[in-house]
Structure formats: structure tokens, C-alpha cells
Amino acid sequence: MPPRNRHRPLIALALLVVLSGCTPTVETDAEASASTSAVPSFSSPTSPSDSPTPTRSVAPETIATPPASAPPAASEAIGPTDTDDVDLSAVDRIQLHAQQIVLLDGPEAVTTLPLDDADAIVAALTRVLGEPRVEEIIGAGCLEDTLDYRWSDAMRVFDFIEAGHPISDVRAIIDAPNVLGASGSPVSLEGPSGVYVDGDIVTLIGDTPAERKVGYQFDTGTDWAVLLQQGSQGGGSLVGVIGYTTGTVLRSIQSPDVLEEDFC
């Protein structure tokens, strides 16, 4: 990763994430097929509900069809990766994958941004979405010290300050289905296969194998963390694009992230 300028104006923000009382259990295949309630979300830097008691669970057998308005998917390994000479003015979709971000003009890939260079990612997204807000987060609990680049509370890029993060020095986060672009036109934000925040992914949850999702039980129901697309294997953990839900509604898409048994 190129040297980063650590002397830019930053807003110091103390973030303390304290989540307790989580004792997850892993379901067997027999339990998965017998279950008739559930659906996913997790919390990375954004947490779902209070006082969780996580357990493994599965989606109901009766599954609704996701909205037909979901944007079409784009394949992952397409488009040029050097954005310096690429015209990004027509980009109207951003799709987050396990190892890269794909910028698209409709169904066509314009360029790809590997998830290993925060400076290049931020530079390209700034051309598409305009200038981000930048904050320095002093990590605590689950979150390391990081520079947080944020576009309208819809898309974020974490640039971890200490190099050598066990998963990646960069994490991209989508928290909304779209955001206003630098040109004034909306830009769609999505995960693999066109899944998007605020969409109901009950079918996807039901179809996902038990070992690739974790259910967290709250007083209000079950939230989920679902592995939407696998990337690398991190120390025995599943790493890739993780979708976090409230009930069955997708609330956040994050990559690269780890599917955690413990609610952090």
C-alpha cells in the first residue's frame, strides 16, 4: 500500500463498542432442517440490538421472493484496475465483492478496485461520489484505530492505521441502497449478485448453509450475519463479504470481514 499522509485534518472520535452476553451455539444439519423461524444481521462497527444472546439458527421453510427490483449482478474479475486514465463520470453502480470493488455503468464494468489499497479506493470513489467526510476513530473493543472515509452515511472505507491487520488493511462498507454521486445523479450500492441494503434476503438466508451464517437472538427476533461471498481463509475463519441484517432485512454489507461465532 502507498505511504499514507497522516497529517490531513482529522476529527478525533472515540468509539467504544461494548456488547456482552453473547453465547452462540452452532446448529447441526438436523436442527437446521427442523427450524421454522429466523433470518440474518451482525454488527461490525454498526450494532443491531441491545443485550444479544446469539444462537445459530436457520430461515423458515416458507420463503418469500426477494424484490424483483434488485439490480443485476456483475461478475467480479472484470474491467481495468488502473483508474488514472479511466473516465468514471458514467459510473452509476458500485458493487462490493470479497476482494475488490467493481464500478459499473449499467451492466458494464468500468473498472475494478482491489481491496488492498485504501488510497486508490478513496481516490476513485471521490471521483464518483465527491469528497468524503474523514474521521479518525480511536478503536476499542472490536474496532482497531482507523481512518473512516464516509460518503453520506451510505458508503464507508476503513483504512486501518496500523498496517498488518490479520484480514486486510482496508474494509469497505455499504449502509444504504444508493447515494448521490458527484454529478448529482444517484449511484446504486450493492453486494454480490445484486443484493442491496434494505432488501429482504429471507430466501438467501434460507438457502445459505448453516456453517456460512450466524444467527443472533434478541428480544425482538433473530438478526443474522451471512457470508454473501467467500474470499480468503483467515486462520480457520470464513472471510469475505458479510451481510448483516435486522430480522431478514439487509442493513449493512462489509468486505473483507470475518464471519464471527462470537457477537462482538
Contacts of 225 (CB under 8 A, 6+ apart): 40, 41, 42, 213, 214, 216, 242, 243, 244, 259, 260
Q: What is the mean pLDDT of the chain?
A: 76
Report residue 59's pLDDT band, with 50, 70 and 90 as the boundaries.
very low
Query: Kind of pairing, strands 170-174 and 249-258?
Result: antiparallel
Distance CA 154, CA 147 (A): 16
Show me where the domains of the chain are located.
22-67+196-258, 93-193
pLDDT in tens, 161-200: 887 677 888 999 999 999 999 999 999 999 999 999 999 9
Q: Can you give the pLDDT at residue 263?
A: 60
Q: Would the CA dihedral through 152, 7, 157, 42 be positive or negative?
A: negative
Distance CA 109, CA 64 (A): 30
Report residue 260's pLDDT band, with 50, 70 and 90 as the boundaries.
confident
Distance CA 80, CA 64 (A): 37
Which of 143-147, 149-153, 176-180 bottoms out in mean pLDDT, i.e. has the lowest? 143-147
Q: Can you give the pLDDT at residue 81?
A: 59
pLDDT in tens, 61-106: 333 333 333 333 433 444 555 677 899 999 999 999 999 999 999 9
Say what the pTM is: 0.70
Residue 120, Cα to own-chain centre: how many angstroms?
Answer: 19
3-state secondary structure the chain: CCCCCCCCCCEEEECCCCCCCCCCCCCCHHHHHHCCCCCCCCCCCCCCCCCCEECCCCCCCCCCCCCCCCCCCCCCCCCCCCCCCCCCCCCCEEEECCCEEEEEECCEEEEEEECCCHHHHHHHHHHHHCCCEEEEEECCCCCCCEEEEEECCCEEEEEECCCCCCCCCEEEEECCCEEECCCCCEEEEECHHHCCCCCECHHHHHHCCHHHEEEEEECCEEEEEEEEEEEEEECCEEEEEEEEEECCEEEEEEEEEECCCCCC
Q: Can you give the pLDDT at residue 140?
A: 66
Mean pLDDT of 9-27: 36
Q: Can you give the pLDDT at residue 143?
A: 72
Residue 9: pLDDT over 90: no
